[in-house]
């Protein structure tokens, strides 16, 4: 009841900071331990260059697993917040239970891919035997033991939907600390633990993820008392699942398109292993910046959805206004860091032969951050107002319809020696600006159609 009162009555400007800061920290930590994995692997005494390339190639599948878990959680988050805003506790319990059932289904799919499909996937992007072996080992472990990241992604959104984002951050911090502690121990072989290289990085990651998921499950059962818990609510209901994915499917596709984009970019850059590795390293830095926007988006969505469920036009408008303002501020901060210290990031990763290409990518692609962050905020707003199609269109523009044709065209000039690889990176800022203009148009249309008609 106290959490519901806060969602109803606290000024949106303050509420968004209270909910958003823990979520931003949570997402930043998730990005940090992706960066930490690469930093430790990049400083291995033997095979570090191949290991960095291997982690670049496995990253799209890791992103895809997160995409399905987070997308399911986003649908659950918005639907649960809206349902609680309407005061329907019985339906809220079914929504939470069905989301956990869906987590089991998602895990089974990841498990099967981990057993059967990993080597074929890695081999499609490289012919280097050492890279194939390292990538296969790392990804197989992450898929077979993926229950941690999948259930963490769903449970995090269940806590955020009730305004308890602080507890999801505690879980994220726990997993990140465990991962960071275990990385050097398992990668380099410290104390009684044998040296495992990239396999050690994978084990450290999944152990941290499982610890986070277990902790969040305890928080969910103990603290989310606005609705009932129990095995009977895990029984799948087609109507509930359809409602979850009516909101969450565009988010899944949006995240999956990111995975597809990275995979296709790896294929485009196959002509230059150093550029391929540079892009993979930069993408992890980029994710750190954009995850700040994703964290704030996860505050924007339940706040706007709750207000929409209550029919409160002013709180909806405030949620949109402050969400965009805070997002722009975060992205300016991220741009200053990446534009100011590209050499420091290259040194952190021990980028080696990829250093020059990595710094060039950072200098150019960072220009797009403010537009990319606004696009992420737009998508959170669309999802909260039950406008998933618009969110999907923005994702298609950003990660498929604009970026890949532009990158493909620019790569022709690079391969023919008519331009340096820096030209290829300009596809990213051009794409984000065009998508941002389209997103502004969608926002105005949705406000007129759905918000202004509320009584």
Is residue 1 scored above 80 in pLDDT?
no
Give residue 352's Cα distance to chain centre: 28
Instruction: Give SS3 for 65.
Output: helix
Q: Where does residue 87 fall: left (phi above 0), alpha (psi -120 to 50 degrees), or beta otherwise? A: left
Specify the pLDDT at position 101.
Answer: 92
Between 448 and 35, the higher pLDDT residue: 448
Q: For the residues 240-258, what does the mean pLDDT come to?
A: 82
Is residue 84 scored above 60 in pLDDT?
yes
How far apart (Å, rounded) are the C-alpha atoms in residues 406 and 428? 9
Specify the pLDDT at position 415.
Answer: 84
Could you tell me what percent of the chain has a pLDDT over 90? 39
Q: For the residues 263-277, what does the mean pLDDT come to?
A: 86
Q: Please, what is the Cα angle at 144 between 104 and 395, to 5 degrees?
A: 70
Contact 389, 250 (CB under 8 A): yes
- In tens, the pLDDT along 323-369 reads 999 999 999 999 999 999 999 988 888 877 788 888 999 999 999 99
Would you place residue 312 in the very low, low, confident or very high pLDDT band (cuts 50, 70, 90)? confident
Specify the pLDDT at position 57.
Answer: 87
Specify the pLDDT at position 23.
Answer: 76
Q: Please, what is the Cα angle at 209 between 175 and 17, to 5 degrees?
A: 55
How far apart (Å, rounded) are the C-alpha atoms in residues 196 and 200? 5
Q: For the residues 190-199, what does the mean pLDDT come to?
A: 91
Instruction: Taking each helix axis as running N to C, give the angle between helix 165-188 and helix 198-223, from 0 to 180 degrees, rounded to the nearest 10.
Output: 160
Instruction: Choose among 168, 18, 158, 169: nearest CA to 81.
Output: 158
Would you state the structure tokens that stand for residue 88, as one six-digit string? 């329907």
- Kindly list the distances between the CA atom of residue 283 and the CA atoms of 73, 280, 319, 340, in Å, as whole numbers in the listed order: 23, 5, 29, 17
Is residue 445 scored above 60 in pLDDT?
yes
Q: For the residues 289-299, what does the mean pLDDT come to?
A: 88
How far apart (Å, rounded) are the C-alpha atoms in residues 163 and 3? 6
Average pLDDT, the chain: 87
Is residue 444 scored above 60 in pLDDT?
yes
How far apart (Å, rounded) are the C-alpha atoms in residues 304 and 301? 5
Handedness of CA 428, 430, 434, 436 (dihedral sign): positive
- In tens, the pLDDT along 370-403 reads 999 999 999 999 988 988 789 889 988 998 999 9
Q: What does pTM read for this prediction?
A: 0.74
Specify the pLDDT at position 325.
Answer: 96
Specify the pLDDT at position 4.
Answer: 55
Q: For the residues 392-418, what does the mean pLDDT come to?
A: 89
Residue 197: how many other CB atoms lie within 10 Å:
22
- In tens, the pLDDT along 211-234 reads 999 999 999 888 887 877 878 888
Contact 335, 255 (CB under 8 A): no
How far apart (Å, rounded) are the C-alpha atoms in residues 169 and 95? 22
Between 121 and 27, the higher pLDDT residue: 121
């Amino acid at each position: 009841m106290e959490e519901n009162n806060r969602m109803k009555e606290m000024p949106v400007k303050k509420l968004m900071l209270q909910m958003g800061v823990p979520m931003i920290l949570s997402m930043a930590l998730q990005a940090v331990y992706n960066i930490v994995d690469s930093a430790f692997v990049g400083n291995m005494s033997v095979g570090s260059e191949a290991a960095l390339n291997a982690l670049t190639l496995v990253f799209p599948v890791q992103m895809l697993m997160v995409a399905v878990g987070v997308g399911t959680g986003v649908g659950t988050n918005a639907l649960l917040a809206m349902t609680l805003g309407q005061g329907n506790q019985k339906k809220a319990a079914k929504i939470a239970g069905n989301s956990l059932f869906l987590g089991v289904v998602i895990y089974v799919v990841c498990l099967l891919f981990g057993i059967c499909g990993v080597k074929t996937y890695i081999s499609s992007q490289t012919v280097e035997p050492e890279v194939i072996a390292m990538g296969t080992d790392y990804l197989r472990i992450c898929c077979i033991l993926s229950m941690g990241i999948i259930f963490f992604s769903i449970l995090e959104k269940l806590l955020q939907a009730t305004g308890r984002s602080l507890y999801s951050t505690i879980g994220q911090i726990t997993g990140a600390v465990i991962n960071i502690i275990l990385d050097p121990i398992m990668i380099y072989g410290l104390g009684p633990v044998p040296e495992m290289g990239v396999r050690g990085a994978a084990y450290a990651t999944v152990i941290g993820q499982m610890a986070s998921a277990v902790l969040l499950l305890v928080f969910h059962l103990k603290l989310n008392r606005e609705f009932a818990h129990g095995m009977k609510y895990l029984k799948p209901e087609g109507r509930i699942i359809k409602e979850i994915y009516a909101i969450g499917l565009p988010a899944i596709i949006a995240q999956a398109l990111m995975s597809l984009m990275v995979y296709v970019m790896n294929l485009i850059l196959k002509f230059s292993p150093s550029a391929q590795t540079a892009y993979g390293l930069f993408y992890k830095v980029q994710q750190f910046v954009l995850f700040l926007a994703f964290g704030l988006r996860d505050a924007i969505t339940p706040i706007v959805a709750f207000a929409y469920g209550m029919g409160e036009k002013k709180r909806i408008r405030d949620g949109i206004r402050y969400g965009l303002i805070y997002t722009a501020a975060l992205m300016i901060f991220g741009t200053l860091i990446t534009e100011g210290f590209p050499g420091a990031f290259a040194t952190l990763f021990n980028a080696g032969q990829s250093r020059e290409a990595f710094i060039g990518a950072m200098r150019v692609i960072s220009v797009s951050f403010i537009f990319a962050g606004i696009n992420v905020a737009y998508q959170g707003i669309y999802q909260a107002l039950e406008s998933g199609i618009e969110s999907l269109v923005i994702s298609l523009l950003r990660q498929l319809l604009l970026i890949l044709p532009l990158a493909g065209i620019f790569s022709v000039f690079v391969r023919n020696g008519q331009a340096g690889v820096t030209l290829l990176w300009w596809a990213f800022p051009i794409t984000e600006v065009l998508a941002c203009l389209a997103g502004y148009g969608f926002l105005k249309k949705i406000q007129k159609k759905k918000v202004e008609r509320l009584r």
